[in-house]
A and B are shown apart, each in its own frame.
Chain A
């Protein structure tokens, strides 16, 4: 079955630390990839997306993600996190008519 895996359930970092959140999927064929962020009490917001072209995608708030087709991965990165990045992060994969979300990774950034 098609699936999306986010390896880390909860990540705790200090401010200015670097971040990498893993996302792997099991779809074959062409995929569209997304990272969303959800702050407490709020709805999803799009961080970045990949449809085609340069596999290194830059998003809002200093986030970026790299699509590695051979590894079926789309990891999210940020060089230096801030306290305001505390939120839950969801990876999503869209293939034809099917869209699946990962279980989410909670990021806690300590001041």
Chain B
């Protein structure tokens, strides 16, 4: 079945530094990837929709200059948290949709980011 690999699974960084999270589709081509964030005791919230070869579409309230999304190929999308602050500490997860659409959504295993 379709597999999405997300790395790293856990990262601790210092305040002010940047962190890159990778989401890679291993055995299919993903034209669309979704990036979500989960705050404690809440459900996932969509941050942005990433389409291969074009700019990401950000949800209202999500700072595009802070959360940089790059979807340069059909198998890789990256989320970079720039100038991280403690309030950016959260659980980030990606989901990929196979080329051709349909119901082929697959989730990565998530990244726990802690900013100290």
Contact = CB atoms under 8 A, between A and B. Distances in A.
Contacts of B93: 99
Interface in B68-116: 91, 93, 95, 101-103, 105-107, 109-110, 112
B55 interface: no
B103 A40 contact: yes
Given A43-B34, A44-B34, A97-B91, A32 B103 contact: no
A106 B103 contact: yes
A44 B45 CA distance: 8
A21 to B, nearest CB: 14
Interface residues of B: mostly helix, strand, loop or mixed?
strand
A16 interface: no
A89 B112 CA distance: 24
A46 B44 contact: yes
Interface string A58-73: 0000000000000000
A27 interface: no
Given A44-B36, A44-B46, A38 B105 contact: yes
B101 A40 contact: yes
A41 B101 contact: yes
Contacts of B105: 38, 88, 90, 104
Contacts of B14: none
B107 A40 contact: no
A51 interface: yes
Contacts of B109: 100
Contacts of A103: 1, 106
Nearest to B110: A99
A44 B95 contact: yes
B38 interface: yes
Nearest to B46: A43
Nearest to B91: A99
Nearest to B97: A41
Contacts of B66: none
5 contacts: A36-B44, A43-B34, A88-B103, A94-B38, A104-B103
